[in-house]
Amino acid sequence: MKTVVIGSGSWGTALAQVLVDNGQDCIIWGKNHEEVNEIQNEHTIKKFFPDVQLNPQLQATADLSVVKDADVVLLSVPSIAIEEVCQSILPYLTKKIIVVNTAKGFHPGNNDRMSNVIRDCIPSSKLSSVVSLIGPSHAEEVVLRMLTTICAVSLNEADAMTIQHLFLNNYFRVYRGNDELGSELGVAVKNAIALASGVLAGLGYGDNTKAALITRGLAEMIRFGTAMGGRQETFMGLTGIGDLVVTCTSVHSRNFQAGYQIGKADDAQVFWQNNTKTVEGVRTAKVLYELKEQHQIDMPIVDEIYKVLYEGKKPSVSARDLMLRELKAEL
């Protein structure tokens, strides 16, 4: 099977290397010619992995027509770019493909989930199914072949199994699931909670605080996810608590880094003025706030991170207000 990875960033490169390590036919497509040339000729991508030598068999191209004979197209681009990328590859598709989605967020216009966006863009005559490859994983560790588990989530179990077998090796284990809605909501909610985790770390709080945030953040994830139609057990798996833990505790997480910057300054303005990276949790927090208001779901952490980001509330005041809310039973 031929796999084309769309996106020459850190995650696309790391996943492509997994496939090449497995002896699979895989090539990266990127629009950044410098990145493409570096991967193709130097077998490095120092912008993301300064000290890593990539598998020399890994190839990259800037020619999008490479997708024309692909069996699998893996999208490793931010959620805001998914629609545009799908529309770009559509003219080149000559047969039904499996689209593997790795984005964790919502459509920038209608707030739809990524799998629905892909199905809306690519007709069933060209699409076998969407498989979301999501879970607790940082590119910085996968590229070093550190042990990682992840989940292939799809409404089509046969295609999920295909992706499992493509990626499985001695450092990258793939489970599968079929709760597409719950899984995609879980990995989106954790982005906002990870922002809050970074904020609290930036304010100087420690492990007690982090444990409290992850635990109560999981409660909000379950409350929101089940209200929207996800299965509760999904949030106890890799796309729920698994992704929540890794994103809330790791300096590799862009959401955590952004939150840390905000907490350190006790002001979100420093983020808005200086950020140049895609931080999915920033927009996700806004979408979650709107949805939880619409459906009247109690999500106090999301409330506060929204107010910090969009209403100018001081993070230190938000932390205090979370602690001094009305007392309640834990469960």
**Percentage of residues in the chain having pLDDT higher than 70:** 100
186-323: which CATH topology?
Answer: N-(1-d-carboxylethyl)-l-norvaline Dehydrogenase; domain 2 (1.10.1040)
Read off the pLDDT band of 129 (50, 70, 90). Answer: very high
Span 92-106, average pLDDT: 95
Span 44-55, average pLDDT: 96
pLDDT of residue 313: 98
Read off the pLDDT band of 108 (50, 70, 90). Answer: confident
The dihedrals phi and psi of 175, each to the nearest 5 degrees, come to -90, 175
User: Alpha carbon of 46 to those of 8, 10, 30: distances in Å?
Assistant: 12, 10, 15
DSSP-based helix, strand, coil % in the chain, nearest 5: 55, 15, 30
**Could you count the other beta carbons within 10 Å of the beta carbon of residue 296?**
7
pLDDT of residue 216: 97
What is the tens place of the pLDDT at every residue in 310-322? 999 999 999 999 9
pLDDT of residue 204: 98
The domain spans of the chain are 2-178, 186-323
Examine the pLDDT at 251 and tell me if it is beyond 90. Answer: no
Instruction: State the average pLDDT for the chain.
Output: 96
Distance between CA atoms of residues 138 and 180, nearest Å: 21
Q: Domain 2-178 belongs to what architecture?
A: 3-Layer(aba) Sandwich (3.40)
What is the tens place of the pLDDT at every residue in 271-287? 999 887 778 899 999 99
Residue of 131, 8, 154 lying closest to 81 (CA atoms): 8
DSSP 80-138: GGHHHHHHHHGGG--S-EEEEE---SB-TTT--BHHHHHHHHS-TTTEEEEEEEESS--
Q: Which two tokens stand for residue 123?
A: 């007709």
Span 152-177, average pLDDT: 98
What is the tens place of the pLDDT at every residue in 167-220? 999 999 999 999 999 999 999 999 999 999 999 999 999 999 999 999 999 999
pLDDT of residue 237: 98
Q: Which of 31, 68, 190, 292 is catalytic?
A: 190
Instruction: Say if residues 73 and 97 touch (Cβ distance below 8 Å).
Output: yes
Q: Please report where in the chains the tokens 């945030």 appear, as a residue.
A: 213
Q: Which residues touch 112 (CB under 8 Å, ≥6 apart)?
A: 106, 120
Read off the pLDDT band of 331 (50, 70, 90). Answer: confident
Torsion over CA of 231, 232, 236 and 238, rounded to 10 degrees?
20
Question: Is residue 190 among the annotated active site residues?
Answer: yes
pLDDT of residue 191: 94
Q: CA triplet 235, 293, 103: central angle to 5 degrees?
A: 45
Q: Please report where in the chains the tokens 């729920």 appear, as a residue.
A: 240
Element (H, E) at 148: strand 148-153
31 residue type, one letter: K
pLDDT of residue 109: 87
pLDDT of residue 20: 98
Examine the pLDDT at 65 and tell me if it is beyond 80. Answer: yes
pTM to 2 decimal places: 0.94
